[in-house]
Amino acid sequence: MDYFAQQLINGLVLGSIYGLIAIGYTMVYGIVGMINFAHGDIFMIGGFIALITFLILVSIGLTAVPVILLLVLLVSMAITSLYGWTIERIAYRPLRHSFRLAPMLSAIGMSFVLTNFSQVAQGARVKPVPPIITGGYTLHEGADGFVVRLSNIQIIVVITTIVLLALFTWLVARTRLGRDMRACEQDQTMASLLGVDVDRTISMTFVIGAALAAVAGMMYLLYYGLVDFFMGFVAGIKAFTAAVLGGIGSLPGAMLGGLLIGLIETLWAAYFSTEYKDVAAFSILIVVLIFLPTGLLGRPEVEKV
């Protein structure tokens, strides 16, 4: 039981990170109807920028951990958002009214560009950082000596995710931008006729998605203590799987899917085999889609003839 509780905690933390990335996929899909294959690499870039900012801040003599974290978060979000904005501008906007596969291939190309760019710019080797946030709480000590621990970093990851999710839900539901986004999602032509700046709204969607991916990248860096140029691919695929599992286009679905994928992966690794944890996650995706072709919370697509 203790072992299970510990795995549950680990799975939820991993799931939170996946969920943050998955939101970026789901938002972009909802509004422009394309798979942003480069999103996983945006997450990787976010991690790298967080790492570099952290190194600079430490070497100029800053020691207060909360200040460092806040600054790293802000810088990473700002620069990564600009990456999201630029990519949309260069690679997706010219193809917006093209046929379905064109923006997707452009996105795959962009993903190769970003992966290789950071490999060339920062080297191929894994970049480790010493643990920044240490300590934690012992929740329960079993009779057999097994300790269920909840570390501070895990608390921070989960709390950040919850806060961002709340903020984001509020943004979509209550603000002008959110209303514009929902309008563009339903009908871009009609929205533009009613005075919604469609281009700007789509750009903002990419910016917000990239900012959330940057947070996820920073959390990944803090939690696992390393980044490398290839981490965007696997994380991106998992997050995309999460978004589809939850029903692509649905925000709560993305979070739910993220948590599920995180849990499946962690529990499978804990009870069965680490080698096949990804196979398990993908297989469950396929099984779910057989019975629910539009994911767990996705709205069924009604096709008019």
Partner 1 sequence: MAANASQAKTARGPDAAFILKKAVISALVALVLFSLMIGIRTEAGSDGQLTWWTRFGDLAAMVAVVFGGSIAMELLRRWWGPVDTVRVVPPSAQKVFSFAGRALVPALLIFTFLVPVIFYDERYILDLGILVLTYVMLGWGLNVVVGLAGLLDLGYVAFYAVGAYSYALLATNFGLSFWICLPLAGILAAFFGVLLGFPVLRLRGDYLAIVTLAFGEIIRLVIINWQTLTGGPNGISGIPRPTMFGIPLTPGDDGLATLLRIEFSPTHRIVFLFYLILALALLTNWVTIRLRRLPIGRAWEALREDEVACRALGINTTTTKLTAFATGAMFGGFAGAFFATRQGFISPESFTFHESALVLAIVVLGGMGSQLGVALAALAMIGGFELFRGLEQFRMLVFGGAMVLLMIWRPRGLIGHRAPTVFLERNTAISSDLVKEGHG
DSSP state of 248: T
**Binding of partner 1 at residue 275 (CB under 8 A)?**
yes
What are the percentages of helix, strand and coil residues in the chain, rounded to 5? 75, 5, 20
- According to CB under 8 A, which residues from 72 to 91 bind partner 1? 75, 79, 82-83, 86, 90-91
Q: In the set 1, 60, 66, 100, which binds partner 1 (CB under 8 A)?
A: 100
Interacting span for partner 1 (CB under 8 A) from 63-71, 114-122, 192-200, 216-224: 114-122
Binding of partner 1 at residue 297 (CB under 8 A)?
A: no
Q: Which stretch binds partner 1 (CB under 8 A): 155-163, 181-189, 211-219, 237-245?
A: 237-245
Q: Which amino acid is at 270?
A: A
CB atoms within 10 A of CB 130: 7
- Can residue 271 be called a binding residue for partner 1 (CB under 8 A)? no
How many residues touch partner 1 under the rule CB under 8 A: the total is: 73
Using the rule CB under 8 A, give the single segment among 14-22, 151-159, 189-197, 289-297 that binds partner 1.
289-297
What is the closest distance, in whole angstroms, from the C-beta atom of residue 195 to partner 1 in the complex?
A: 26
Q: Which residues contact 212 (CB under 8 A, 6 or more apart)?
A: 20, 21, 23, 24, 164, 168
Helix (H, G, I), strand (E, B) or coil at 227: strand
Beta partners for residue 227, in sequence order? 127
Tell me which stretch binds partner 1 (CB under 8 A): 94-102, 136-144, 156-164, 177-185: 94-102
Q: Does 62 bind partner 1 (CB under 8 A)?
A: no
Longest alpha-carbon distance in the chain = 68
Q: Under 8 Å CB-to-CB from 167, ≥6 apart: which residues?
A: none
- Report in angstroms how near the CB of residue 137 gets to partner 1 at its nearest: 28
Instruction: Examine residue 136 and tell whether it contacts partner 1 (CB under 8 A).
Output: no
- Residues 127, 119: Cα–Cα separation, whole Å: 12
Residue 243 Cβ vs partner 1, minimum distance, rounded to whole Å:
9
Closest approach, Cβ 5 to partner 1, in A, equals: 28
Could you tell me which stretch among 123-131, 144-152, 164-172, 174-182 binds partner 1 (CB under 8 A)? 123-131
Burial 76-95 (b: 16+ CB within 10 A, else e): bbebbbebbeebbeebbbeb
Query: Judged by CB, which is closer to partner 1: 59, or 63?
Result: 59
Q: Is 278 in the site for partner 1 (CB under 8 A)?
A: yes
Q: How many CA atoms lie within 13 A of 70 on its CB side?
A: 6
Give whichever of 178 and 236 is closer to partner 1, judged by the CB atom. 236
Q: Does 237 bind partner 1 (CB under 8 A)?
A: yes
Q: Which amino acid is at 69?
A: L
Query: Is 285 near partner 1 (CB under 8 A)?
Result: yes
Pair of tokens at residue 39: 């999103």
